[in-house]
Amino acid sequence: MSILNKQATILKLGDINYKRNKQIILHNLNFEISSENFILMTGQNGSGKSTLLKIMAGLLKPDSFDLSYKQCVQTNSIEKKNSWSAAKKFLRQNFCYLHQTPYLFSGTVYDNIAYGLRHQGLSRSEISHKVSEALKIIALPHLGNRNSYALSGGEKQRVAIARSWVIHPAFILLDEPFANMDKHSRNSAYDIINQLKEDNIGIILTSHDPHSGELDFNRHMHLHQGGMIEKQA
């Protein structure tokens, strides 16, 4: 593993339990992740991948959890979040979750990518600059004014990734991003994912297919019957 970046966020999540209608979905998960990781998370359909990602993004409340984190390696101070509302706030600030089929807001592609920038106190021109940069990275530089409903599935997925990229979270959680993509969209998505890595954004990418080829993961986690095992990457 690489030498930790100054800005790296290291997060320890423990005691994660989640039940739904009395069915145990996640059972006593314990793991540590760093924003330097590029993690592949596999597991069969229904094994709880989406559930876990939504918990990590602070979108779903687990039955129990234990969260501590270190934001800057040099200070070595470890902080804990004990209540869910505190943990939720932290998780929402640091994780960005992308749905398997992304939801684009009504409006233009530009509006969508700018959405997360609009409450960061940036000027119009800064926003516009970042959006056009993002459009270039997803190889859709001319689509800024296109209405979001008039995009193909693969284009939507790319716009959604760009929309998360511009706010630069510590982690981006990609929920089966390739499930609805053709080869061309896939290749373009690889480029964006590599860009995320370059920008020191931690990535967790789920797939029900254990051989999620061409990407250079440095960790592999596998969900099975509520538990998680770390596999050789």
Ligand X SMILES: Nc1ncnc2c1ncn2[C@@H]1O[C@H](COP(=O)(O)OP(=O)(O)O)[C@@H](O)[C@H]1O
Residues lying near another protein in the complex (CB under 8 A) are found at: 54, 57-59, 92-93, 95-97, 99, 101-103, 105-106, 115-116, 119-120, 147, 149, 163-164, 167, 169
> By CB under 6 A, is residue 210 in contact with ligand X?
no
What span, in angstroms and rounded, lies between the C-alpha atoms of 64 and 200?
29
Q: Does 49 bind ligand X (CB under 6 A)?
A: yes
**Do residues 62 and 29 touch, judged by C-beta distance below 8 A?**
no
Of 7, 30, 32, 46, the residue at the interface with ligand X (CB under 6 A) is 46
- Report if residue 50 touches Mg ion, rule: CB under 5 A: yes
The one of ligand X, Mg ion, another protein, none whose footprint includes residue 184, by CB under 5 to 8 A per kind, is: none
Q: Which is nearer to another protein, 92 or 220 (CB)?
A: 92
Q: Which two tokens stand for residue 213?
A: 């080829």
Residue 145 C-alpha from the chain's centroid: 26
Both structure tokens of 54: 């939504």
- In whole angstroms, how close is the CB of 115 to ligand X at the nearest point? 25
**CB of 2 closer than 8 Å to CB of 18:** no
Binding span for Mg ion by CB under 5 A among 43-51, 85-93, 108-116, 164-172: 43-51
Question: Looking at 82-226, which runs of residues are DSSP E strands?
Answer: 95-98, 171-174, 202-207, 219-224
